Amino acid sequence: MLTLSYFDQREKMHTSIEIPKDAKVYLNKPYVQVFWSPINKILTSRWTGFCTYDEIIAVAQRIIDAVTFEGARKVLYDAREIEVLDEQSQKYIAGDFTKEMIKVGIEYSATVSPTDVFAKFSLDDIQSAIKIAEASKNKFFQDVDEAFNWLLSK
């Protein structure tokens, strides 16, 4: 059973993200949940703990598949509980993954920064390594409500 909270456009999103009742779940692993909310038209991934490079690649492909299938334009990466990412994973996310997400239709993405200071360094490295002009519509947030509301405004 997931212990995430429900959100939609009618009410403010709670601090912890719940999978909406009508959401389509693409992935539900101990380290990540990926789901599409047809109400908000936002693909959300919620990361928890440590992920290997191979897990990052597999999840990234599932996210790309979901974006393609749903025609998603907006994605929310809730990385508050993720742990440090290895250098190979950081390079992949900043390079090939970001390029592919733009190619398949993502226009806006919001990333909520990790609470762990070392994991935040990993995300900062990714942010500074992204060199694609179209990725300028990716914003980083400290607060999940701000990130969600920013995506809703787009």
* pLDDT at residue 119, as a whole number: 72
* pLDDT at residue 137, as a whole number: 82
Domains and CATH numbers, the chain: 24-152 (3.30.750.24)
* pLDDT at residue 133, as a whole number: 56
Q: How far is CA 83 from the centre of its chain?
A: 14
* pLDDT at residue 22, as a whole number: 87
Give the residues of the chain that fall short of pLDDT 50. 1-15
Task: Report how far residue 85's alpha carbon sits from residue 66's, in angstroms, rounded to the nearest whole number.
Answer: 23
With contact defined as beta carbons under 8 Å apart, do 112 and 142 qualify?
A: yes
What is the tens place of the pLDDT at every residue in 42-86? 999 999 999 999 999 999 999 999 999 999 999 999 999 988 889
Pairing of strands 24-29, 32-37: antiparallel
* pLDDT at residue 20, as a whole number: 78
